[in-house]
């Protein structure tokens, strides 16, 4: 990192004048995962309260290895440094010794205030799930086992940024298609699978329809191409505008699976046992994701999230950016997948997702590979979050 003329980091602890709050208890849920239906759809939810706290009140703060979180924070700063509230702290961060856990911890405690997120209904915990970057097998040309297309953005999909007209709708987009002079809803998943409007928009062909569906849920992934002997990344390009609906919830509501069985692994097992109902299940989710191809120069680098920076395995999360600032450091207190073992660490809010709705709603990025897929598929825990904001940032 290049040096700068900003004065050196001074010792101090943020939040010394913060009002005391009741300690947060993060309940482990190995036997009965959190019911996603119990998490309020925050489309019209009231804004949460950010309650200032002391770093000493954050469970596990002193034990977390700050060095593991630092590269992800510096990636966030590459974007946030352009904003007035973040310029000072992100500039000073360039001087911090990235190899010193003590120096990094001192930096955060000096220049930031942890704010516990409390929902409008008073809840201070919410749902924590996981996602990962999958690997699929495919080809550039259709043939043999490669019969399932991944589509590019259709020419007739219209996307309108509503914030330009309605500032209160920041981060909201209207998607549809033009019929005459009107914008009407775009085709659902079921309609797209039957439509001819996407013919010719095939990006790649893969060999597994089930994995292609789950690729859309994850938002990005890698495809190993057998005809060109290369591995490429397919990244989220756009979406058809229909809300994401959980197929796990669909199976639970139909009495096909119990809540504890509705993991990614459990859903795939159900599909294997009910192949004739696969389309029924997939079409229960009207949302459809379109992709773009990206080069993969370094397999160790994660896909780009909504912030526009590569995700860091186990240190990046997706949040609802209407409530949690995109790019901000977030201290997460939860438990490991399907376990009561604490998982308490500093992560960065660098991504969003169609299923990530609500002020205390976190999707934890596990990374790439079989182990990441296993953990992400089983992650459905309760958790609390504290958003770290620069001391000079306006009160929320």
Domain CATH for 249: 2.40.240.50
Whole-number pLDDT of residue 39 = 38
Lowest mean pLDDT, pick from 44-48, 95-99, 275-279: 44-48
Q: Is residue 149 assigned to a domain?
A: yes
Torsion angles phi and psi, residue 93, rounded to 5:
-60, -25
Tens of pLDDT, residues 330-354: 999 999 999 999 999 999 999 998 8
> Which of 17-31, 93-107, 216-230, 373-387 shows the lowest per-residue confidence on average (mean pLDDT)?
17-31
DSSP 125-189: -EEEEEEEE-EEEEESS-BTTB-EEEEPPPTT-EEEEGGGT-GGGTT-EEEEEEETTEEEPPP-H
For residue 368, what are the β-bridge partners? 133
Q: CA 341 to CA 251: how far, in whole Å?
A: 28
pLDDT in tens, 47-77: 899 999 999 999 999 999 999 999 999 999 9
Q: Which residues does 190 contact at the CB level (< 8 Å), separation at least 6?
A: 279, 283, 286
Residue 248 belongs to some domain of the structure: yes
Task: Give the pLDDT score at 113.
Answer: 98
Residue 271 lies in a domain: yes
Q: Write out the residue range of the structural domain in which residue 236 sits.
A: 135-294
Mean pLDDT computed over 137-148: 97
Residue 288 pLDDT exceeds 50:
yes
Q: What is the mean pLDDT of the chain?
A: 88
Residue 31 pLDDT more than 90? Answer: no
304: DSSP letter: B
- Per-residue pLDDT at 170: 67
Q: For residue 332, is it within any domain?
A: no
Q: How far apart (Å, rounded) are the C-alpha atoms in residues 15 and 53?
A: 6
**Strand partners for 232:** 223
pTM of the model: 0.82
**Domain contains 275:** yes
Task: Specify if 394 maps to a domain.
Answer: no
pLDDT band for 6, please (50, 70, 90 cuts): very low
The mean-pLDDT minimum among 96-105, 188-197, 206-215, 310-319 falls in 188-197
pLDDT at residue 160, rounded to an integer: 82
Surface-to-core class of residue 241, CB atoms within 10 Å of its CB (0-12 exposed, 13-18 middle, 19+ buried): buried
pLDDT at 202: 96
**How far apart are the C-alpha atoms of 389 and 113, rounded to whole Å?**
5
Look at residue 19 and tell me whether its pLDDT is greater than 60. no
Q: Inform me whether the pLDDT recorded for 197 exceeds 80.
A: no
Q: How confident is the model at residue 134 (pLDDT cuts 50, 70, 90)?
A: very high
Residue 335, domain member (yes or no): no
Domains held by the chain: number: 1
pLDDT over 70 (residue 11): no
Does any domain span residue 346? no
Confidence category of residue 169, pLDDT binned at 50, 70, 90: low
Predicted local confidence at residue 148, as pLDDT: 97
Q: With 90 as the cut, is the pLDDT of residue 225 above it?
A: yes
């Amino acid at each position: 990192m290049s040096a700068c003329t900003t004065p050196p980091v001074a010792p101090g602890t943020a939040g010394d004048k913060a009002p005391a709050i009741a300690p947060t208890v993060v309940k482990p849920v190995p036997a009965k995962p959190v019911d996603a239906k119990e998490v309020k759809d925050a489309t019209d939810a009231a804004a949460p309260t950010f309650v200032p706290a002391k770093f000493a009140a954050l469970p596990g703060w002193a034990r977390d290895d700050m060095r593991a979180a630092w590269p992800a924070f510096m990636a966030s700063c590459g974007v946030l440094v352009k904003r007035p509230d973040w310029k000072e702290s992100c500039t000073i961060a360039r001087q911090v010794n990235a190899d010193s856990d003590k120096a990094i911890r001192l930096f955060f405690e000096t220049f930031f205030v942890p704010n516990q997120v409390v929902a409008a209904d008073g809840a201070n915990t919410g749902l924590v799930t996981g996602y990962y970057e999958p690997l699929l097998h495919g080809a550039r040309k259709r043939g043999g086992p490669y019969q399932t297309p991944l589509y590019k953005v259709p020419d007739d999909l219209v996307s309108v940024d509503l914030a330009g007209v309605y500032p209160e709708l920041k981060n909201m987009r209207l998607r549809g298609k033009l019929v005459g002079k009107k914008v009407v809803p775009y085709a659902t998943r079921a309609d797209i699978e039957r439509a001819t409007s996407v013919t010719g928009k095939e990006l790649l062909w893969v060999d597994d329809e089930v994995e292609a569906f789950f690729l859309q849920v994850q938002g990005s992934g890698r495809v190993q191409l057998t005809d060109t002997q290369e591995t490429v990344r397919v990244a989220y390009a756009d979406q058809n505008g229909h809300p994401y609906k959980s197929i796990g919830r669909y199976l639970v509501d139909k009495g096909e699976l119990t809540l504890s069985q509705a993991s990614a692994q459990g859903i795939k097992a159900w599909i294997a046992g009910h192949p004739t109902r696969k389309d029924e299940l997939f079409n229960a989710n009207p949302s459809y994701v379109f992709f773009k191809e990206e080069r993969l120069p370094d397999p160790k680098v994660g896909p780009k999230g909504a912030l526009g920076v590569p995700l860091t395995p186990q240190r990046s999360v997706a949040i609802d950016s209407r409530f949690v600032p995109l790019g901000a450091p977030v201290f997460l207190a939860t438990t490991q997948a399907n376990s009561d073992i604490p998982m308490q660490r500093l992560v960065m809010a660098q991504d969003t997702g169609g299923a990530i709705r609500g002020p205390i709603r976190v999707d934890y990025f596990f990374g790439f590979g079989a182990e990441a897929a296993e953990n992400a598929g089983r992650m459905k825990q309760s958790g609390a979050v504290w958003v770290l904001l620069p001391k000079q940032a306006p009160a929320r």
